A and B are shown apart, each in its own frame.
Chain A
Amino acid sequence: MCLYILHIAPVLFWLFNAGHSLGDLDGIPIAVKDNFSTSGIETTCASNMLKGCVPPYNATVVQKLLDQGAILMGKTNLDEFAMGSGSTDGVFGPVKNPWSYSKQYREKRKQKPHGEKEDSNWLITGGSSGGSAAAVAAFTCFAALGSDTGGSTRNPAAHCGVVGFKPSYGLVSRHGLIPLVNSMDVPGILTRCVDDAALVLGVLAGHDPKDSTTVQDPVKPFTLPTLTDVSKLCIGIPKEYLAPELSSEVRSFWSKAADLFESEGAKVIEVSLPHTSYSIVCYHVLCTSEVASNMARFDGLEYGHRCDIDVSTEAMYAATRREGFNDVVRGRILSGNFFLLKENYENYFIKAQKVRRLIANDFVNVFNSGVDVLLTPTTLSEAVPYLEFIKEDNRTRSAQDDIFTQAVNMAGLPAVSVPVALSNQGLPIGLQFIGRAFRDQQLLTIAKWFEKQVQFPVIQLQELMDDCSSVFEIEKLGSVSLKQ
């Protein structure tokens, strides 16, 4: 984890005394994923290419949070350029899941063989917004911004036991979010509870003239109603999401959740999203194509890393990009360029666009048949140890781990991962709700009801706090205090 620990109380005290009334997020500490542009604060996307880069402007969502009085704690770690599902492939190193150090997990692991070093088998956070999820999970902030292109907010939320919300595409501005896939990216919100997510969404949502893909309709501030009666709801369970790789524990919780809704009077039906199996390949083609395009600006000329070679412009480009990007990014650029070649464009890119339309239509059809939300797993299993995770490469992992989340990005729908319960290992399991486009409020209302039912336990990090020095080496770098 790369975070700044803040002493909160003095900050609030100071602000209160100064007579500042700043807004809905007055004095609230927040963290922001390091692929959001922050004025005067280094923004690296966890890449060598942007190490040391300090942007001159704030992303719209960052500005909105600051305008409401939020305190920026720091920029959080991620997979390089948001490519990955583990938050393990950034230049600053991998992100460690706070649950690795939780009492709940450690107690379960006391049965493990001795002689294992305490910290050697720590768990991943999931990704790519792992740093943000960890920041919220470890109580260092109340809310964090992530990004979500194929599940990058929901996935780590599930693994870290926090709420991870992906808004409808077009609801929240992407201006200042360094893009991965422009047609799928959205800023994501990570919080401890659904109410907090709704509050943050209320601050962020709305048209931005600087982002032509945001909708024009005015957005009213959010206050989630407290749902007491779910009997009018129809919950859809997509049958294609019953994947063979799904862990039995997750499957069990999924089933229990469905039963819960049914027992409370909701209609729970099986639905079909027939093109689900094509989704991952379609996503891969479109994602890498846009990546190849978006990464073209990183040439060492205007900003960012520039190599030492100056024999020719071409040589400079090549060396700069080789040095600046990790092999995950380079791999995607190469793939993407292949798909965009004139001779391949029709067969790959256009085809994928058509399949994307079919996938989006699957959702439309299901929602048109009377379903209010879909209920699915978020991840295949609980968080795995880092050493196990890295046995497969980034591409393989991404393909596996995005299975329940990326179709949502292709359809531009809102979705939220809500922590449900702890696994046998004492690790969080989350479930996902998917809503209709621009019915974010309805989605969160249902999620809030569900959250109240399941009463997910609070992470117990007390041991950790007491034992700070042995585990958190990074903290020697200093804790930032805003004491004036």
Chain B
Amino acid sequence: MAAPMLRWCCLGRRWVLACVDSGSRHGRGAAIGFTSSRKRGQSSVAQQPLITAQKSRKGEHKWAAVVGLEIHAQISSNSKLFSGSQVRFAAPPNSLVSFFDASLPGTLPVLNRRCVEAAVMTGLALSCRINKKSLFDRKHYFYADLPAGYQITQQRLPIAVNGSLAYSVCAGKKPSQVISKTVRIKQIQLEQDSGKSLHDELRSQTLIDLNRAEGQLRVDANISVHHPGEPLGVRTEVKNLNSARFLAKAIDSEIERQIHELENGREILNETRSFDYKLGCTMPMRDKEGKQDYRFMPEPNLPPLLLYDTASLPPGADPQQVINIDWIRERLPDLPSETREKLIQQYGMLPEHSFALLNEVGLLEFFQNVIKETRAEPKKVTSWVLNIFLGFLKQQNLAVNESPVTPTALAELLNLLDRKAISSSAAKQVFEELWRSKGKTPSQIVSEKQLELMQDEEALERVCHTVMEGHPQVVMDMKRGNSRAINKLIGLVRKATLSRADPTVIKEILEKKLSS
């Protein structure tokens, strides 16, 4: 039986399969990275553009690699694509299975409206043409996690086609060396998912869970190599890649492997491979004998899906029964590129920072909430959010929504910093404390730890005077123009004030004293 192992279509009966062609006309084309809003870190997958690997051995000409991605993304909805049963994470196995999900004889699919709307939104966000008429098909194969013996998909005429996605790639080491690229989206289709197989090696059996409610993003990559100018090479499919990092590794290693095989006179087989994370290379999948004929056939129980726009909407149509593309388009939120542009315009933010803010789920919202509540400059807020806040999150592997520090707390902290109530090193201490102990406000921590900056200039002058008197040699060095000396003095003064003095002010006072 040549069925692909863990089904290449996503979990949850509410998946959108999107196909993106990354710059070639080869094969099935690739996919979009569409985020499932529940999972953190599931930001847009960076697609591999057309890359060129040079092999200068023996004067070989260049190789060009062609990569297409199929991305399976779960739609966020309350119930499944074709059945009324609920969707819930981490439910006990087979507890969310309707009669249709179990493919009981006589049950029929009923299309979920929310899923169609989500697919249209996705298509619009990716600049696709939305097909006003799309069709459903059956794709047949036998596998234990596919109870009906076929999957309902959109092979002939999917819901959206011919889109594109612009993205940025770091061209060099510096964060500012960012170049813009575009990848083509071949199509987006709605499809049903298979169940989950759990292999119990001990008892030589496989357990099947038909819930299909896991929020994962899965990618299959189609890869081939050829010499530019020559016809495209035989492609292989690498399945079930779950992270952007492994996707990149898998593609790279497969390209290398193919080049290596071809340069040694061997052929590439049109086969399915999986990526071995430990070995760092692709392996042929077992269970694959010959090519699979899916015997596609129209799904007779689902009439063609008709979508309307304002111009074509039939008069007196029941809004419950029709979907208006224009209506959905009007309600699309800002797309990432627009949001980034706004950030740059509004806050004078650097482009690379705008990317960073959008690339972490919930970070932008966090940032905006802080901005709302603080008087501090946007650049300061940006720096704190991206460097310190994000740093803490990453260190402890937390999502933004799991952060112990709220936007209000950070805003308050930045306010304290802004009116120079505390020094920036004190602020960092406060932040650490905020992170560790919940419930305390920055002001509370500042007063508990006595981190307030000295406001009394006269007192500070006295301290400076005392320190200067205590270290005449250093003062001498300073007078001679030794810049390190002044820093030493500043450090001494700070220590004497228990870090409660602003180094800038100390420096001013010392310099004033020197010159007098």
Contact call A297/B148, Cβ cutoff below 8 A: yes
Chain A residue contacts of B293, Cβ below 8 A: 341-342
- Report Cα–Cα, A451/B150, bound state, in Å: 46
Residue from the set A216, A297, A298 with the largest chain B CB neighbour count within 10 Å: A297
CB contact under 8 A between A340 and B297, given known A297-B103, A314-B1: yes
Interchain residue pairs A-B with the least CB separation, the first 10: A296-B149, A340-B295, A182-B300, A183-B300, A178-B105, A176-B106, A37-B106, A297-B103, A297-B148, A178-B106
Interface presence of B111 (CB below 8 A): yes
Residue-wise, chain B 286-321 has the 8 Å CB interface mask toward A (1 for contact) of 000000010111001111000000000000000001
Chain B residues near A183 (CB, 8 Å)? 300
The reply to whether B297 and A293 form a contact with Cβ atoms under 8 Å apart is yes
Q: How far is the CB of B385 from chain A (nearest CB, A)?
A: 48
Q: Once the chains are docked, how many angstroms separate the CA of A295 from the CA of B297?
A: 14
Interchain CB contact (< 8 A) of A174 among B1, B108, B110, B147: B108
Return chain B residues, CB-CB under 8 Å to A177: 106
Which A166-197 residues have C-beta < 8 A from chain B? 174-179, 181-183
Q: Select from chain B the residue with minimum beta-carbon distance to A184.
A: B300
Q: How large is the interface on B (under 10, 10 to 19, 20 to 34, 35 or more residues)?
A: 20 to 34
Q: In the bound complex, do residue B138 and residue A293 qualify as a contact, i.e. CB atoms below 8 Å apart?
A: yes
Whether A290 sits at the interface, judged by CB under 8 Å, is yes
* Contact in complex: B149, A349 (CB < 8 Å): no
Is there contact, CB below 8 Å, between B110 and A212? yes
CA separation between A36 and B140, bound complex, in Å?
A: 25
Chain A interface bracket (under 10, 10 to 19, 20 to 34, 35 or more): 35 or more
Residues A301 and B106 in contact, CB atoms below 8 Å apart? no
Contact indicator per residue, chain B 253-275, by CB within 8 Å of chain A (1) or not (0): 00000000000000000000000
Beta-carbon nearest neighbor of A316 in chain B: B144
> Do the beta carbons of A55 and B106 come within 8 Å of each other?
yes
Q: Say whether, besides A174-B108, A175-B108, A313 and B138 are in contact (CB < 8 Å).
A: no
Give complex CA distance A176, B108 in Å. 8
Known: A55-B104, A179-B106. A289 touches B300 (CB 8 A): no
Check B107 for interface membership: any CB of A closer than 8 A. yes
A 1-44 binary contact with B (CB < 8 Å = 1; else 0): 00000000000000000000000000000000000110000010
A210 near B105 with CB under 8 A, answer: no
Whether B104 pairs with A216 at a CB distance below 8 angstroms is: no
When distances are taken between beta carbons in the complex, the residues of chain B under 8 Å from A176 are 106-107
Interface check A221, CB cutoff 8 A: no
Given contacts A55-B104, A212-B108, A340-B295, contact A296 B300 (CB under 8 A): no
Q: Please give 11 more A-B residue pairs, beta carbons under 8 A apart, in addition to A216-B321, A293-B297, A337-B295.
A: A36-B106, A37-B106, A43-B105, A50-B105, A57-B99, A178-B105, A210-B110, A213-B303, A289-B297, A296-B142, A340-B297
17 pairs across A/B with beta carbons < 8 Å? A37-B104, A45-B105, A183-B300, A212-B109, A212-B301, A292-B295, A295-B149, A296-B142, A298-B149, A299-B142, A301-B147, A302-B103, A337-B295, A340-B295, A340-B297, A345-B295, A345-B296
Report whether A317 and B102 are in contact in the complex, using a CB–CB cutoff of 8 Å. no
When the two chains form their complex, are residues B301 and A213 in contact, meaning their CB atoms are under 8 A apart? yes
Q: A182, B301: Cβ atoms under 8 Å? A: yes
> Using Cβ atoms and an 8 Å threshold, which residues of chain B touch A259?
none
Query: Chain B residues near A50 (CB, 8 Å)?
Result: 105
Nearest chain A CB to B142 CB, angstrom units? 6
* Smallest CB gap from B145: residue in A: A301
Chain B residues near A181 (CB-CB < 8 A): 300
Task: Check: B208 CB closer than 8 A to any chain A CB.
Answer: yes
Contacts of A178 in B (CB 8 A): 105-106
CB contacts (< 8 Å) of B102 on chain A: these are 302-303
Measured between beta carbons, the chain B residues less than 8 angstroms from A59 are: 106
- What's the Cα separation between A178 and B140 when bound, in Å? 19
Report chain B residues within 8 Å CB of A297: 103, 105, 147-149
Residue among B1, B107, B140, B303 making CB contact with A175, cutoff 8 Å:
B107
| A212, B105: Cβ atoms closer than 8 Å | no
Contacts of B110 in A (CB 8 A): 209-210, 212
Query: Could you tell me if A210 and B108 are in contact, using CB atoms closer than 8 angstroms?
Result: yes
Interface residues of B in 135-164 (CB under 8 A from A): 138, 140, 142, 144, 147-150
If A212-B302, A293-B138 touch, whether A303 touches B104 (CB-CB below 8 Å) is yes
Residues in B with CB closer than 8 Å to A43 are 105
Residues from chain A with a CB closer than 8 A to the CB of B296 are 340, 342, 345
Distance of B457 from chain A, by nearest CB (Å): 78
Interface centre among B138, B147, B149, B206 (most CB of A within 10 A): B149
A296 and B148 contact, CB distance less than 8 A: yes
Central interface residue in B103, B144, B295, B300, by most chain A CB within 10 Å: B295
A175 near B150: Cβ-Cβ < 8 Å:
no
A310 to B: closest C-beta gap in Å = 8
Chain B contacts of A210 at CB under 8 A?
108, 110
Contact check: which of B99, B144, B295 meets A313 at CB < 8 Å? Answer: B144
Number of A-B contacts (CB under 8 A): 101
Q: Which residues of B contact A290 (CB under 8 A)?
A: 297, 300
Shortest beta-carbon distance from B112 to chain A in Å: 12
**B contacts with A: majority SS:** loop
- In the bound assembly, the distance between CA atoms of A181 and B303 in angstroms comes to 15
The reply on A119 being an interface residue by CB < 8 A is no
Chain A residues, Cβ within 8 Å of B208: 301
A92 to B107, CA, bound (A): 25
List B contacts of A56 (CB < 8 A).
Answer: 99, 104
Assess A341 versus B148: contact at CB under 8 Å? Given A177-B106, A209-B110, A211-B108.
no
- Interface of A, secondary structure class, is loop
Most B CB contacts (10 A, CB to CB) among A50, A176, A178, A302 go to: A302
- Give Cα A313–Cα B293 distance, bound, in whole angstroms: 19
Residues of A close to B149: CB separation below 8 A: 293, 295-299
- Residues of chain B from 103 to 142 with CB closer than 8 A to chain A in the complex: 103-111, 138, 140, 142
Chain A residue numbers with a CB within 8 Å of B206 are: 313
* A residues near B321, Cβ cutoff 8 Å: 216
B106 neighbours in A (Cβ, 8 Å): 36-37, 55, 59, 175-179
On whether A341 and B295 interact (CB within 8 A), knowing A296-B142, A296-B150, the answer reads yes
Q: A211 contacts which chain B residues (CB < 8 A)?
A: 108, 301
Give bound CA distance, A317 to B146, whole Å.
13
A182, B301: Cα distance in complex, Å: 7
Distance in Å from the Cβ of B198 to the closest Cβ of chain A?
Answer: 14
Which of chain A's residues 296-320 have a Cβ closer than 8 Å to chain B?
296-299, 301-303, 313-314, 317
Among A43, A59, A211, A293, max chain B CB count under 10 A is at A293
B218: min CB distance to chain A, Å: 22
The verdict on A313 contacting B301 (CB below 8 Å), with A57-B99, A296-B149, A299-B149 known, is no
Inter-subunit contact A293/B147 (CB<8 Å): no
A57 to B108 alpha-carbon distance, docked (Å): 13
Shortest beta-carbon distance from B260 to chain A in Å: 33
Chain A hits for B144, CB < 8 A: 301, 313
The CA of A341 and the CA of B291, in the complex, are separated in Å by 12
Which of B406-423 touch A at CB < 8 Å?
A: none
The residue on A at minimum CB distance from B150 is: A296
Greatest chain A CB density within 10 A among B106, B111, B144, B300 is at B106
Most buried by A among B107, B108, B109, B140: B108
> CB-CB < 8 A to A303: which residues of B?
102, 104
Judging by beta carbons under 8 Å apart, are A317 and B297 in contact?
A: no
User: Measured between alpha carbons, how far is A470 from B300 in the docked complex, in Å?
Assistant: 48
Shortest beta-carbon distance from A347 to chain B in Å: 14
Closest partner residue, chain A, to B1 (CB atom) = A314
A-facing residues in B60-119 (Cβ within 8 Å): 99, 102-111
Which of chain B's residues has its CB closest to A183's CB? B300
B297 and A349 within 8 A (CB): yes
> With the chains together, A341 CA to B140 CA distance in Å?
11
* Chain A residues with CB under 8 A of B104: 37, 55-57, 302-303
Per-residue interface assignment for chain A, residues 269 to 289, with 1 indicating a CB less than 8 Å from any chain B CB and 0 otherwise: 000000000000000000001
Cα(A56)–Cα(B105), bound, Å: 11
A37, A213, A313, A314: the one contacting B105 at CB < 8 Å is A37
